[in-house]
Amino acid sequence: MTIFQNLLTPEFKQLYNDAIDAIIDPANGLVNTCILKYGGSATQQTVCNNCLYDTISRLSSNMYNGTGPKPFSDGGICPVCLGSGSITRNSVIKEEKVNLAIIMDNKYFFNVANALNLNSNHIQILCKVELLPKLQNAVELIVHDLAYQQAGEPQYCGLSQHKYAFMLWRVK
Ligand SMILES: [Zn+2]
């Protein structure tokens, strides 16, 4: 057994975890309320809300559906879908507020292997591992009104317990 292993007592581990807990405590100055966005800006096709849809031709049946915003006469061209029977709209981007400890200055990043590739566009996030799936699913992270994208795999930390993770993001 090395001296270092002797140091890793349950008390020491608790101290370490307490220290990180303090860093990611929402009351602490390092913690920012950020917005995670999921699902990107994909578009989706939906049936036109103004005309009757013809399921055989997969086009507008050229008849007003009685409830849409722009009535037109039977046999005419639907003014909403222009006869295509469907409309394209942006899918709703889901978003969620999360509290993350953020290190903005790369001089203070933890555990970074190739620090030479880092610049002021990078930030490092420290969070509990429970939050990682959300971070990894997100297509965008908004911090101080700037949009960031993931810049690498998370690195686990927390001595032997993997309670926490660091993750790099860079400006989109
Ligand atoms: Zn239509």
Do residue 70 and residue 140 come from a single domain? no
The pLDDT tens digits of the residues spanning 18-48 come to 777 777 776 665 788 899 988 755 677 889 9
The token pair that represents 166 in the structure block: 């660091």
How sure is the predictor about 1, in pLDDT bands with cuts at 50, 70 and 90? very low
Residue 100 maps to a domain: yes
The bridge status of strand 122-128 relative to strand 164-171 is antiparallel
The pLDDT tens digits of the residues spanning 101-152 come to 898 888 888 777 666 678 889 999 988 888 999 999 898 999 989 999 999 8
How remote is the CA of residue 41 from the centroid of ligand 1, in Å? 23
Say if CB 42 and CB 143 are below 8 A apart.
no
How remote is the CA of residue 39 from the centroid of ligand 1, in Å? 27
Do residue 98 and residue 154 come from a single domain? yes
Question: In whole angstroms, what is the distance from residue 35 CA to residue 83 CA?
Answer: 39
Do residue 98 and residue 158 come from a single domain? yes
Looking at the whole model, is its pTM more than 0.85?
no
pLDDT of residue 12: 76
How remote is the CA of residue 94 from the centroid of ligand 1, in Å? 27
Question: In whole angstroms, what is the distance from residue 77 CA to residue 128 CA?
Answer: 56
